[in-house]
């Protein structure tokens, strides 16, 4: 992992510091601005801003909500591509975020008819993203409503009986890459892309597939979740006012690496997002997800309920 910024520069940071490396136009000042502004400013030079999703990180999921409801987002970007939803349910999410009434069992298929999540998408923060977009879209003119694109490939679990029936896992990158190229870049639009880090970094994954056709189209943000990510974590954590999110540009960027580090607070306060209770309150749903778990992993769902108390990432 490349190190980020010296302690001297860190002392200048309060909200977002867009520093000398990979400078973004219009953001030459070190005056404090919000992390939301920093991400949105990146769109001045890049059509795609990717945020590496550290799956289940509560503070990062909260940041998605803050960013999506930020007034500039719907006007200047308007599209978000997410890993935590299956393309088979694109019509369902379109109806939901447009304000239509959608029965919960039907809506739940948006985040559970997926291929790569084990046992399925369970963290409440991802569900909050859809709910917040629906709220933001209310009263907005159609041209300023946020469009959600579900990046997981289509899968019909009713037709899946054994692992041989599963789609090829390569589709988890091929599908979103084609979606981004055809629905965003070919139409000269912009999009926030929320996906796990490997999909931005590996040579055969989503970002690489997109940039084969549209070079250097991504600006990628990595969340700060491990003190080993920076050369002086203590200085970093002292330099940013408590309660403020910050975006720090990398001084050096590896090939297909992140351009910036998203600071969401000291590692010691970072927690896992709470889980939806569906898996232990809805018996028929649990049986179906258990069936899928057996197909995908050969193992049943674990027994018991998740703890109600906060679960900290740093043990």
* Cβ partners under 8 Å of residue 133, min gap 6: 68, 80, 97, 146, 148
Map out the domains of the chain as residue ranges: 7-276
Find the range with the poorest average confidence among 10-19, 151-160, 198-207, 290-299.
10-19
Structure tokens at 175: 């599908």
Q: Give the per-residue pLDDT at 240.
A: 84
Q: Are 113 and 88 in contact (CB under 8 A)?
A: yes
pLDDT, tens digit, for every residue of 183-193? 999 999 999 99
pLDDT, tens digit, for every residue of 206-250? 999 999 999 999 999 999 999 999 888 998 888 887 677 888 888
Mean pLDDT of the chain: 89
Architecture per CATH, 7-276:
3-Layer(aba) Sandwich (3.40)
Question: Within a 10 A sphere around the Cβ of 231, how many other Cβ atoms?
Answer: 16
Among 23, 19, 3, residue whose Cα is nearest residue 11: 19
Quote the CA–CA distance of 35 and 44 in Å, as a whole number.
15
Strand, helix or coil for residue 138 = coil
Higher-pLDDT residue of 142 and 96 is: 96
Q: In what order do the strands lie in the sheet with 48-52?
A: 147-152, 79-86, 191-195, 48-52, 218-223, 260-263, 246-249
pLDDT band at 33 (very low <50, low <70, confident <90, very high): low
Angle at 79 between CA 194 and CA 137, to 5 degrees: 115
């Amino acid at each position: 992992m490349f190190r980020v910024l010296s302690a001297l520069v860190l002392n200048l940071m309060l909200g977002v510091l867009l520093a000398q490396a990979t400078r973004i136009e219009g953001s030459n000042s070190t005056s404090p601005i919000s992390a939301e502004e920093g991400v949105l400013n990146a769109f001045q030079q890049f059509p795609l801003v990717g945020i590496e999703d550290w799956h289940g990180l509560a503070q990062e999921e909260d940041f998605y909500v803050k960013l999506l409801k930020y007034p500039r987002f719907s006007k200047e970007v308007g599209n978000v591509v997410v890993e935590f939803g299956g393309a088979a349910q694109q019509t369902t999410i379109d109806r939901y975020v447009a304000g239509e009434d959608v029965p919960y069992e039907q809506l739940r298929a948006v985040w559970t008819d997926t291929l790569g999540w084990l046992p399925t998408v369970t963290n409440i923060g991802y569900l909050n993203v859809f709910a917040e977009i629906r709220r933001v879209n209310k009263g907005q003119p159609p041209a300023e409503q946020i469009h959600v694109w579900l990046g997981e490939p289509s899968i019909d679990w009713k037709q899946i009986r054994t692992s041989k029936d599963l789609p090829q896992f390569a589709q988890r990158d091929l599908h979103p890459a084609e979606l981004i190229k055809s629905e965003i870049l070919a139409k000269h639009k912009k999009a926030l892309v929320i996906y796990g880090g490997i999909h931005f970094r590996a040579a055969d994954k989503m970002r690489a597939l997109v940039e084969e056709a549209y070079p250097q189209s991504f600006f990628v943000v990595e969340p700060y979740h491990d003190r080993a990510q920076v050369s002086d974590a203590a200085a970093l954590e002292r330099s940013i006012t408590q309660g403020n999110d910050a975006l720090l540009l990398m001084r050096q960027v590896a090939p297909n690496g992140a351009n910036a580090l998203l600071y969401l607070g000291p590692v010691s306060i970072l927690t896992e997002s709470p889980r939806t209770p569906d898996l232990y309150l809805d018996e028929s749903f649990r049986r179906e997800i258990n069936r899928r778990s057996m197909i995908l992993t050969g193992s049943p769902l674990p027994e018991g309920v998740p703890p109600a108390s906060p679960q900290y990432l740093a043990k």
